[in-house]
């Protein structure tokens, strides 16, 4: 190449890069996607501040809430369902040219549907249902040739359905129900469509004029003509813009050709990533769907940390969107490669799916490979009780009572109405979810048993959260319905105080055990010190005392003295509490009183903040066997400082039941001086 030709080549390359920059940035030098999203933000009213981290000065919107990006950092998803948003949907949404999913359902958005949506040539899912959109359906939506799912139901749309919608050959679902649409119905290629609630729609476009439909006046026709002319001018303008940037696009093609092989190889890897799953056809266990791993990877953006909803003892939970726009929560079970065999896993999953109740989280589907075990649930837009207790607006007293009763009914179903019965083993505020109507939904039931199958060499494994574990479960590893009753009692105290179990009494500088503190306040008739300060003035003190009594009945040390969940439900409904409370207060034999006092003090110390049991310790975690004993590194907090001990836990159950969790010197060379002790039922033969 001559020097002159080489110079021309570099000038051309520079010109290509310049045009590529113009393609990515607006005229003001701002990322065009940021500009478009901020335009959307400006048109919406966000009462809960879910879009507060949208920053117009940002160069990358991929970290923003409700925004999903591709691996190339392009915005491909916008999802703000059930966020109480109002205002209008800005036409700037049409500038997000890479959008594939729009989920704005169940809000209060008004105004017309932007015609600019027709520019989104890659859009696959559009859900604007359950809003207050008015006006007609834009004919430009017919340009969305890749659209597969369209939900515009439950709005106030009017006018005729555009015939251009018949051009969307990829449509598999259309829902236009409960609007005020009129006129003939296009011949949708969709396999499923719903027009119920639009009484003035004709069956097809070939029918005679519809009864009850009035011909449009001339002025409306003229307006439509002007709209068409305006649309034509817009197309001409777009053509001019496309022509002016064509050279730049050619440059981008030349530059991109060098990456072609790399991208093709990457796509092949993605296609083959789930190759082991491909021989599994989409099957169902009853109403339970089996997903392919790749489906859930796409739904959660490959389990991106941006979609992480929470972490728990059973695994991490990720928010995702299926291709039809359904929001789901995907639980990725811990150590999926070891969670029992395929047949056993399917059996347990099917058992969980058969537990169907208004107050139980329904299992939607599952995925199983040699390395992964995943469960798919409906997404609960209001999160967990634990998160809502810390959020604004504050849950009022009436809502907290309703949550308590709903959770109790869910547990009652698991214990007494489900065959076989299911013991939850980890009842706490974080495992009680709230649906769109703030109704309690019990989650994570059945998972403890499901994960026990990976510990086939162990007869019992303590699974649960410190502060919620019943004393007999902690000391023997044997769970029962009364184990869940104890956890439910602690849940009631969480609802009352607004704090986690291990936080009870901290605000009052209480140094005793958490349940002892509650009993003390009840005896002193000082329950106002127990109430969440955020709604203290709006709480009925009589109802508060009743709920505290139910909580104390549920958290009695001996399981035989705790009520069944059916009794708990009746007491929360206002029936039988007085009799049950009086019976619990009757004088017991001195032998029982002494036994409970000694054992409860032992348990109180174990669950106290100064004990060995801190929440960071995973009770069912692995340990190393050494010479017939198990060495476990335990960290405990003393009154003044942390002391790290290495305690040799012997495999003798009776020995540990005789040790009190106070400082004691034991005349054995193999045991350290103990400040406290915890033994793991998993290690007991």
DSSP 8-class letter at 137: P
The region, left, alpha or beta by phi > 0 then psi within -120 to 50, assigned to residue 337 is alpha
Q: In whole angstroms, give the CA distance from residue 207 to residue 55.
A: 52
Q: Which residues in 375-398 are b (16+ Cβ under 10 Å) and which e?
A: bbbbbbebebbbebbeeeebbebe
Do residues 593 and 499 make contact, with C-beta atoms less than 8 angstroms apart? no
> Strand pairing partners for 79?
103
Q: Which position among 175, 277, 426, 444 bears the catalytic label? A: 426
Q: Between the CA of residue 620 and those of 14, 224, 451, 476, 546, what are the distances in Å?
A: 60, 68, 10, 14, 35
Determine the number of helices (DSSP H) and then strands (DSSP E) in the chain.
18, 26
Q: Work out the number of other CB atoms within 10 angstroms of the CB of residue 505.
A: 23
Cross-strand pairs, 332: 316, 374
Rounded Cα distance between 14 and 8, Å, is 10
- Residue 533 assigned as binding residue: no
Catalytic-residue membership of 419: no
CB 428 within 8 A of CB 386: yes
Pair 184, 204: CB distance under 8 Å: yes
d(CA 114, CA 122): 17
User: Distance (Å, rounded) from C-alpha 463 to C-alpha 315?
Assistant: 13
CA distance 139 to 160: 10
How far apart, in whole angstroms, are the C-alpha atoms of residue 511 and residue 526?
Answer: 17
Distance CA 205, CA 201 (A): 10
Give the containing element (helix H, strand E) for 149.
Answer: strand 149-151
CB 95 within 8 A of CB 35: yes
Token couple for 26: 């607006």
Which residues does the annotation place in the binding site for ATP?
331
Which residues does the annotation place in the binding site?
331
Q: Give the residue numbers marked as catalytic.
A: 426
């Amino acid at each position: 190449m001559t020097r002159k030709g080489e110079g021309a080549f570099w000038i051309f390359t520079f010109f290509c890069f310049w045009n590529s920059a113009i393609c990515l940035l607006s005229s003001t030098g701002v990322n065009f996607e940021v500009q478009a999203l901020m335009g959307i933000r400006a048109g919406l009213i966000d009462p809960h501040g879910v879009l507060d981290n949208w920053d117009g000065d940002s160069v990358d919107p991929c970290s923003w809430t409700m925004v999903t990006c591709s691996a190339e950092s392009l915005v491909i998803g916008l999802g703000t369902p059930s966020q109480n948003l109002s205002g209008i949907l800005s036409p700037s949404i049409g500038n997000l040219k890479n959008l594939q999913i729009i989920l704005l359902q169940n809000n209060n958005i008004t105004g017309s549907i932007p015609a600019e949506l027709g520019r989104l040539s890659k859009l696959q899912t559009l859900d604007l249902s359950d809003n207050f959109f008015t006006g007609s359906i834009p004919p430009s939506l017919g340009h969305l040739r890749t659209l597969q799912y369209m939900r515009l139901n439950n709005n106030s749309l009017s006018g005729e359905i555009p015939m251009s919608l018949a051009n969307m050959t990829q449509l598999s679902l259309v829902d236009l129900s409960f609007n005020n649409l009129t006129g003939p119905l296009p011949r949708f290629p969709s396999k499923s469509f719903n027009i119920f609630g639009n009484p003035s729609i004709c069956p097809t476009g070939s029918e005679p004029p519809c009864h009850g439909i009035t011909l449009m006046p001339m002025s409306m026709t003229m307006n439509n003509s002007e709209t068409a002319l305006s649309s034509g001018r817009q197309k001409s303008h777009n053509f001019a813009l496309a022509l002016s940037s064509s050279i730049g696009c050619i440059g981008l093609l030349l530059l991109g050709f060098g990456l072609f092989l790399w991208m093709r190889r990457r796509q092949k890897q993605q296609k083959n990533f789930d190759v082991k799953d491909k021989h599994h056809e989409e099957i169902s266990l009853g109403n339970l769907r089996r997903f392919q791993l790749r489906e859930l990877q796409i739904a959660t953006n490959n389990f991106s940390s941006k979609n992480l909803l929470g972490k728990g003892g059973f695994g991490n939970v990720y928010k995702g969107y299926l291709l039809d726009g359904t929001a789901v929560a995907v639980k990725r079970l811990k150590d999926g490669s070891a969670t029992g065999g395929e047949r056993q896993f399917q059996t347990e999953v099917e058992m969980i799916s058969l537990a169907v109740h208004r107050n139980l989280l329904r299992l939607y589907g599952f995925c199983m490979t040699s390395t992964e075990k995943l469960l798919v649930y409906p997404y609960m837009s209001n999160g967990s009780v634990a998160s809502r207790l810390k959020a604004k607006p504050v849950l009022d007293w009436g809502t907290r009572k309703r949550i308590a009763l709903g959770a109790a009914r869910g547990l009652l179903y698991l214990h007494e109405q489900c065959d076989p019965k299911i013991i939850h083993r980890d009842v706490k505020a974080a495992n009680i979810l709230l649906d769109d109507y703030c109704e309690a939904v019990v989650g994570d039931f059945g998972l403890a048993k499901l994960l026990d199958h990976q510990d086939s060499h162990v007869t019992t494994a303590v699974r649960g959260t410190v502060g919620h574990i019943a004393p007999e479960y902690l000391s023997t590893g044997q769970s029962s319905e009364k184990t869940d009753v104890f956890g439910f009692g602690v849940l009631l105290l969480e609802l009352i105080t607004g704090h986690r179990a291990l936080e009870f009494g901290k605000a009052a500088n209480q140094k005793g055990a958490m349940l002892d503190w509650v009993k003390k306040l009840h005896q002193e008739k000082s329950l106002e010190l127990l109430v969440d300060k955020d709604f203290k003035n709006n709480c009925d003190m009589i109802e508060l005392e009743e709920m505290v009594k139910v909580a104390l009945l549920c958290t009695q040390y001996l399981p035989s003295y705790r009520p069944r969940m059916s009794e708990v439900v009746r007491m929360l409904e206002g029936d039988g509490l007085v009799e049950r409370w009086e019976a619990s207060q009757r004088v017991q034999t001195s032998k029982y009183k002494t036994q409970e006092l000694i054992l409860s003090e032992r348990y109180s110390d174990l669950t106290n903040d100064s004990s060995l049991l801190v929440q960071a310790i995973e009770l069912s975690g692995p340990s190393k066997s050494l010479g017939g004993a198990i060495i476990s590194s335990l960290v405990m907090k003393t009154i003044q400082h942390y002391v790290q001990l290495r305690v040799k836990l012997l495999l003798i159950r009776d020995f540990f039941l005789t040790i009190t969790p106070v400082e004691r010197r034991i005349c054995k060379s193999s045991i350290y001086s103990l400040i406290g002790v915890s033994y793991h039922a998993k290690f007991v033969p």
